[in-house]
């Protein structure tokens, strides 16, 4: 009885990991067997790569970035390296299509929402102006830094 229970628990744990790791397959679990049904696959969305450059105007700032209300980046003491005009570089995989990005810089009282249409590689430059406004620049090409 105990060894049967142990086998069942091991199968249950394996099944849990398979469900987490197998994005393109459906796992069917039972106490008696563990089976992956590869004929019943789920369609997955195409992914885009959003490159976010925190550029000019950051001085020991806290920065929080959310994509469709889910936090994808948070860092304290973000500071622009004035020699190259760059503070941080972030790359985020997101489903292609419409997404809403929210950028918050609480230390400067800034919160801004930016609607984006994502496809392939998208480059977004964010800078804080001297009057504490957030400016953004979109590009299909990478920004150049020395």
pLDDT higher than 50, residue 15: no
d(CA 90, CA 98): 19
Radius of gyration of the chain (CA): 22
pLDDT higher than 80, residue 41: no
**CATH code of the domain covering residue 135:** 2.60.40
Residue 145 inside a domain? The answer is no
Domain count of the chain? 2
Pair (28, 95) in one structural domain:
no
Mean pLDDT of 7-14: 48
pLDDT higher than 90, residue 86: yes
Residue range of the domain that includes 24 = 2-37
Pair (63, 22) in one structural domain:
no
Pair (32, 61) in one structural domain:
no
Pair (104, 135) in one structural domain:
yes
Pair (65, 127) in one structural domain:
yes
Q: In the prediction, which pLDDT does 138 show?
A: 93
Q: In the prediction, which pLDDT does 45 show?
A: 61
Pair (84, 23) in one structural domain:
no
Edge to edge, what strands does the sheet with 88-95 contain?
A: 88-95, 47-54, 121-128, 134-139
Pair (94, 55) in one structural domain:
yes
What is the per-residue pLDDT across 100-144, written as a single tens digit (0 to 9) for each?
A: 999 999 999 999 999 999 998 999 999 999 999 999 999 989 888
Model confidence at 1, pLDDT cuts 50, 70, 90, reads low
Q: In the prediction, which pLDDT does 144 show?
A: 82
Residue 63 inside a domain? The answer is yes
Model confidence at 44, pLDDT cuts 50, 70, 90, reads low
Residue 53 inside a domain? The answer is yes
Residue 42 inside a domain? The answer is no
Chain mean pLDDT for the chain: 77
pLDDT higher than 50, residue 29: no
Pair (27, 61) in one structural domain:
no
Q: In the prediction, which pLDDT does 26 show?
A: 31
Of 96, 102, 103, 110, the closest CA to residue 54 belongs to 103
Pair (28, 63) in one structural domain:
no
Pair (106, 130) in one structural domain:
yes
pLDDT higher than 70, residue 10: no
């Amino acid at each position: 009885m105990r060894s049967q229970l142990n086998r069942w628990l091991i199968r249950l744990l394996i099944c849990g990991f398979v469900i987490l790791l197998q994005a393109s397959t459906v796992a069917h679990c039972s106490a008696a067997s563990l089976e992956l049904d590869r004929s019943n696959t789920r369609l997955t969305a195409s992914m885009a790569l959003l490159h976010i450059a925190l550029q000019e105007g950051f001085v020991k700032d806290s920065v929080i970035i959310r994509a469709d209300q889910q936090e994808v980046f948070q860092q304290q003491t973000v500071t622009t390296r004035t020699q190259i005009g760059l503070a941080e570089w972030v790359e985020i995989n997101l489903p292609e299509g419409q997404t809403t990005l929210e950028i918050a810089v609480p230390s400067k009282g800034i919160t801004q929402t930016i609607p984006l249409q994502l496809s392939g590689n998208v480059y977004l430059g964010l800078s804080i102006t001297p009057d504490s406004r957030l400016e953004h620049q979109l590009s299909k090409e990478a920004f150049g830094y020395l």
